[in-house]
Amino acid sequence: MRGVALALGGGGVRGYAHLGVLAVLEEAGIPIRGLAGSSAGALAAAAYAFGHKDPWKVQGKVFDPELAELRQGGSLRALARVFSALRRPALAEPKRLAEGLKGLFGEARLEESPLPLAVQAADLLSGESVVLRRGPVWRAVLASMAIPGLFPPVDWEGRLLVDGDVAEKVPVRAARALFPKVVAVDVSNPPPKEGPKTALEAALLSGEASRRRLKELALREADLVIALEPPFPIDTFDHEKLPLVYELGQRRARERLKEIQALSRIRLKDLARALRLAP
């Protein structure tokens, strides 16, 4: 069977690049046999699976203006929210994000997806990866995007779920469960070139370093990796960069298009044989 499954990684606004990648594959006639997404990748995977392929429409539905305010961080209101959040479980209120996701997906359920779809979240208490295949799409994506500290965890059948990036930034294993040939799309920023200036920066960088290592281990299991490789770091909530990341996604997919086409044509028995012979 021709085609590939895609593992779409997290990265905030950089996740809109996934829709650019998918647009190129669709144009090239490469069958998409499954989509697995984490965090922003979960939003992109679900949006594409349910026919929402326009990144500007997706942005208009789910972008919360409060996040832009938090990103700027310079206003007294934003600073007051940061300090008051020290006594609350989350910095932002997810109501607007939840309403936006409900508006985008309505009552659709994961098991109703026209394409095999998996949304990856993480168990806040155990750190385990949790792959969601059934349930309301909007709530699954909300759980996968629940960045710890920024958004509160989502209660899902007795488990507290948070951002899928906590467990596996690019959900290659979840994609492999949908279809044996996996293209992973990594929309991470390049590693920082300078060390931390404050204790808070040091704590944040240590978490990023750990997730970067987990991501590298996951990417080794993919058959092919598309890396966004932005020309400069793009902030997680900088929605002004949406056109840039979408175009970058298209460009990176076109650069690897011949390889993706070749992978999509490999017969399953040949792939199984190659995996058995792999060291």
Q: Which residues are catalytic?
A: 39, 163
Residues contacting residue 100 through CB under 8 Å, at least 6 positions apart: 61, 62, 63, 64
What does the alpha-carbon distance between residue 34 and residue 19 come to, in Å, rounded to a whole number? 14
State which amino acid sits at residue 65.
P
Tokens representing 90 are 């989350």
Structure-token match 């492999």, residue found: 176
Determine the 3-state secondary structure of 119 from DSSP: strand
CB < 8 Å & 24+ apart, contacts of 258-263: 259/224, 260/4, 260/25, 260/28, 260/30, 260/183, 260/224, 261/28, 261/30, 263/4, 263/181, 263/183, 263/223, 263/224
With CA atoms as reference, report the closest residue to 186 among 212, 205, 160, 166.
Answer: 212
With CA atoms as reference, report the closest residue to 182 among 255, 254, 264, 278.
Answer: 264
